[in-house]
Amino acid sequence: MYWQQEYECMPREELAKLQLARLQNTVSRVGNHVPFYRTKFKEMGIDFENLKSLDDLKRLPFTYKQDLRDNYPYGLFAVPLREVVRVHSSSGTTGQATVVGYSRNDIQMWSDLVARVLCGAGVTADDVIQIAFGYGLFTGGFGLHYGAERLGASVIPISAGNTKRQIQIMRDFKTTALVCTPSYALKMVDVMMDAGINPNGLSLKYGLFGAEPWSEGMRQELNEKLGIRASDNYGLSEIMGPGVAGECHVCHGLHINEDHFLYEILDPETLEPVKPGEVGELVITTLTKEAFPVIRYRTRDLTRLIPEPCPCGRTFDRLHRMLGRTDDMLIIKGVNVFPMQIESVLCEIKGTAPHYRIIVDRENHEDKITVMVEVFNEIFFDAMKRQEEMINTIKRKLASELGVGVSVKLVEEKTLERFEGKGARVIDNRKL
Ligand code: DLL
């Protein structure tokens, strides 16, 4: 049930002591070895060899994605390149790419943390695990791969894509755990249906999904259609990759690996901590990374603490599934709208498939959302009246959830493109 019980179930007081020692070590390491941090500490008058308490974290500078870009490629590494055994990089679709590095110890630690997540979700050495994340510069494939091997599961390193083959292999190799983005899992469901394969006839038991936001409704959908227990796992390349946080079998919030990461949830405007349970931006400091330690990284991901202790026995705090990113937020007539809210509503409506797009346009200086949603063919080809009823139901439910009206357009089943990696469901036509 646990991979490293001595850590995962550590009494909180002991954990705080360990965190402080590790934080002191990390701050000293970056102060001595990374010019970027040395300069920042100097400017801010921080005596980096003399951190006294965990509370001192508040005084440390933030790190932004832009800092990684400015120091491209190796400027933030805290060890010489000869100690780096692996590099990963973000795709760079939204600007200059960023590069992260791992020492031998970092890879060990990363493997352990991913093994924790897999183990927490229920996967054991007896499982056959199909890793359908891309292998390459993206951290998903290799991150999960090393963790799964560390756990001792039988790994199928198939990578993303070639969905028919994925399903053939899933059937022939008797895959019990599927690892990919929730979007890709949905595409697999489609391809199975087309091929007349009943997912319940496969050996699948677990789905470990992550790398993008998804709703509780999407989880239900995947659980039902694939006959699995789907769990959420979270991470980001700037911090490590997958393995930062993951759900246990309770499937209610993600335990963050607090012995390796110090987290804060801050109001993104004031940068003050929010009250426990309130939504804010997740900010993470690495505690044990050697090659690429990061101080107070502004993830832009929004979440909240689940303050109740978890029945699984882990003492690490649980984060609510990510609600979106600060930079994904749409402001429509002054109302803040997150794509995930729209997905949640659509998943509750019978007759809609969980495939949608959110189109954002600007007309007469006003932003406007159109939600395109696939509906089952029997509705799409039914009388006009039934279609209108459907549109009205969706509009009403969306307006009540979002607090602002949106247009709705129904489309035929299978008309919207499917994704093999991270889904891109928002199409922003505004020239901002
Ligand atoms: O997506 C690492 C990863 C790989 C996590 C495989 C889990 C599984 P990046 O490509 O750097 O790294 O993207 C990181 O993806 O800041 C979030 O916005 C988003 N994200 C990752 N996991 C989740 C999740 C990987 N479970 C960015 N829920 C993060 C919601 C997620 N968003």
CB of 235 closer than 6 angstroms to any ligand 1 atom:
yes
Task: Please tell me the predicted confidence (pLDDT) of residue 351.
Answer: 87
Q: Whose CA is nearest to atom 6 of ligand 1?
A: 140
User: What is the whole-number distance in angstroms between the Cα of residue 320 and the centre of ligand 1?
Assistant: 14
CB of 237 closer than 6 angstroms to any ligand 1 atom:
yes
CB of 212 closer than 6 angstroms to any ligand 1 atom:
yes
Name the residue of 298, 322, 426 whose CB sits within 8 Å of the most ligand 1 atoms, as the mutation to test its pocket: 322
Nearest to 248 by CA among 143, 322, 318: 318
Amino acid at 411: V
User: What is the whole-number distance in angstroms between the Cα of residue 388 and the centre of ligand 1?
Assistant: 37
pLDDT in tens, 232-242: 999 999 999 99
DSSP string, 75-88: TT-SS-GGGEEEEE
**pLDDT at residue 69 greater than cutoff 80:** yes
Matching fold, domains 1-327 and 330-428: no
Task: Please tell me the predicted confidence (pLDDT) of residue 390.
Answer: 94
Task: Please tell me the predicted confidence (pLDDT) of residue 364.
Answer: 85
Q: For the domain 1-327, what is the CATH code?
A: 3.40.50.12780
Name the residue of 116, 179, 236, 237 whose CB sits within 8 Å of the most ligand 1 atoms, as the mutation to test its pocket: 236
pLDDT in tens, 275-323: 999 999 999 999 999 999 999 999 999 999 999 999 999 999 999 999 9
Name the residue of 99, 263, 301 whose CB sits within 8 Å of the most ligand 1 atoms, as the mutation to test its pocket: 301
User: What is the whole-number distance in angstroms between the Cα of residue 104 and the centre of ligand 1?
Assistant: 23
User: What is the whole-number distance in angstroms between the Cα of residue 387 and the centre of ligand 1?
Assistant: 36
Domain limits, the chain? 1-327, 330-428
CB of 233 closer than 6 angstroms to any ligand 1 atom:
yes
Task: Please tell me the predicted confidence (pLDDT) of residue 293.
Answer: 98
User: What is the whole-number distance in angstroms between the Cα of residue 54 and the centre of ligand 1?
Assistant: 27
Q: Containing H/E element for 342?
A: helix 339-348
Q: Whose CA is nearest to atom 27 of ligand 1?
A: 236
First-to-last alpha carbon distance for the chain, in angstroms, is 49
User: What is the whole-number distance in angstroms between the Cα of residue 127 and the centre of ligand 1?
Assistant: 24
Residue 325 Cα: closest atom of ligand 1: 18
Class of 330-428 per CATH? Answer: alpha beta
CA distance 338 to 323: 8
**Residue entry with tokens 């919207």:** 416
Angle between helices 139-151 and 104-121 (to 10 degrees): 70
Nearest to 116 by CA among 399, 314, 384: 314
pLDDT in tens, 245-286: 999 999 999 999 999 999 999 999 999 999 999 999 999 999
pLDDT band at 93 (very low <50, low <70, confident <90, very high): low
Task: Please tell me the predicted confidence (pLDDT) of residue 432.
Answer: 67
CB of 210 closer than 6 angstroms to any ligand 1 atom:
yes
Nearest to 296 by CA among 90, 121, 56: 56
CB of 236 closer than 6 angstroms to any ligand 1 atom:
yes
The alpha carbons of the chain give a radius of gyration, in whole angstroms, of: 22
Task: Please tell me the predicted confidence (pLDDT) of residue 96.
Answer: 83
Query: To the nearest whole number, what is the mean pLDDT of the chain?
Result: 96
CB of 134 closer than 6 angstroms to any ligand 1 atom:
no
Q: Whose CA is nearest to atom 4 of ligand 1?
A: 140
Contacts of 370 (CB under 8 A, 6+ apart): 358, 359, 361, 406, 407, 408, 409
User: What is the whole-number distance in angstroms between the Cα of residue 237 and the centre of ligand 1?
Assistant: 8
Between 363 and 281, where is the model more confident? 281
Task: Please tell me the predicted confidence (pLDDT) of residue 92.
Answer: 64
User: What is the whole-number distance in angstroms between the Cα of residue 208 and the centre of ligand 1?
Assistant: 13
pLDDT band at 95 (very low <50, low <70, confident <90, very high): confident
Taking residues 80-90, report their average pLDDT: 97
